[in-house]
Amino acid sequence: MPNRGVLQAGEKVQFTDRKGKRITDQLTVGGTTQTEHGLIMHDQIIGQTEGIVVTTVRAKREAQINQQHPERDEGKPWKSARAIGGWEYAVMRPRLADYVLSMPRGAQIMYPKDIAQVIQLGDIRRGMRVLESGAGSGAMSLNLLDAVGCEGSLTTIEMRPEFAKVALGNATVYFGERPGWWNLRIGDFDSVARELPEHAFDRIVLDMLDPWNRLEQAYRVIAPGGVLVAYVTTTTQLSRMAESLRQTGVWTEPDIQETLERSWKAQGLAVRPDHQMIGHTGFLVVTRAMAEGCHALHKRDRATKDTTTDVDELSVQQRAAQLEDLELRDISDRKLRKVLRDLDAQVANISSAQSGQQSGAGTSADDASSELE
């Protein structure tokens, strides 16, 4: 678990300056962190507590030239023109969200806003047994490991060994050791899931391209009443997943949502949202497993309502009937007559106002002519 007390070598720390710029780095004995304002010496931090302020070492800007690829800084004489340093940074241990965004990654990670929703909507708590598909770079895995704790267990199925290695490395650095309650398996979901015991998991998290193809094995290994959360990014995936859940008859009506994130600035009376926000990243599809032999209860559509036939494939007569069946013009005759009366009155008011303006203009012109005479 994350360390407490004084900062030690091997730990990740986060440096934040007065402008809010953050740098995350691992402390090493004799090590340094290069910033645009000079070097931070790790030996000044090791053995100290969180919340201290460190100042970058004053040095010639030559020290900031890329040592491995100096050719990249050719034509940038300002890099060695003046001394740098004396810039202050606050030192803290990174939050899990900060760690996830800064850690080395190969595959695209799930954003913290979506991860938080998975934990909350999936009701993933300490001591639970969770099955996850797709480790990626370990962003979701780290949060699941933290949520269930060492009293619970996480089984992750990752198809690509190199991704599993990245995820395991990130987890080891974060926890300070390999989490003993994490069973990381290599292979495709169906093959590995067949080897798992029935009803062995309380929760399942699917972050993959085709989660609808994994529902059979997912239902076999999840306990009755268990929660399944699927993360998909496109509307076509969303539709396919939702319809597949309904067709199986063993999953409750899916709850579908997405989360948008926008930060604000508050400085005195200048309180406003940031110009940029994190918009759509993915959809969360949440459902629960029914007991064996019990069919899920779903909302019934009206018999006249066809939501699947493409209207372009119908004849003119069929299309007219379809539009009426879909109730796209759902308005009673009484309400329609009232709407028409209101509109007639408003149009009449406009005509009356225009006539008054024209007559008034004519009267004014006649009065002016009389005065001239």
241 and 286 Cβ atoms separated by less than 8 Å: no
Cα(188)–Cα(208) distance, rounded to whole angstroms? 11
Residue 158: φ, ψ to 5°: -125, 130
Q: Could you tell me the CA-to-CA distances from 89 to 45, 57, 82, 141 in Å, in that order?
A: 11, 12, 21, 30
Look at residue 365 in the predicted model and tell me its pLDDT: 46
CB-count burial class (<10 Å; 0-12, 13-18, 19+) for 329: exposed
Query: What is the residue-level pLDDT of the chain in tens, covering all 373 positions?
Result: 557 899 999 999 999 999 999 999 999 999 999 898 889 999 999 999 999 999 998 765 555 555 666 666 666 655 555 567 889 999 999 999 999 988 887 777 888 999 999 999 999 999 999 999 989 899 999 999 999 999 999 999 999 999 999 999 999 999 989 999 999 999 999 999 999 999 999 999 999 999 999 999 999 999 999 999 999 999 999 999 999 999 999 999 999 999 999 999 998 999 999 988 888 999 999 999 999 999 999 877 655 556 666 767 778 877 777 666 655 455 677 887 888 888 888 888 888 888 877 776 655 545 544 443 4
Q: Please state the length of the chain.
A: 373
Look at residue 368 in the predicted model and tell me its pLDDT: 41
Bridge partners of 278? 261
196 and 218 Cβ atoms separated by less than 8 Å: no
Q: Is 47 left (phi over 0), alpha (psi -120 to 50) or beta?
A: left
Residues 6 or more apart whose Cβ sits within 8 Å of residue 44: 54
Residues 6 or more apart whose Cβ sits within 8 Å of residue 88: 17, 18, 53, 54, 55, 56
Cα(274)–Cα(260) distance, rounded to whole angstroms? 13
Rounded to the nearest 10°, the torsion over CA 204, 209, 211, 212 is: 170
258 and 282 Cβ atoms separated by less than 8 Å: yes
61 and 84 Cβ atoms separated by less than 8 Å: yes
Cα(109)–Cα(100) distance, rounded to whole angstroms? 8
Instruction: Write down the pTM of the prediction.
Output: 0.73
Look at residue 62 in the predicted model and tell me its pLDDT: 54
CB-count burial class (<10 Å; 0-12, 13-18, 19+) for 30: exposed
Angle at 335 between CA 334 and CA 339, to 5 degrees: 120
Q: Compute the chain's Rg from CA coordinates.
A: 32
Cα(258)–Cα(117) distance, rounded to whole angstroms? 9
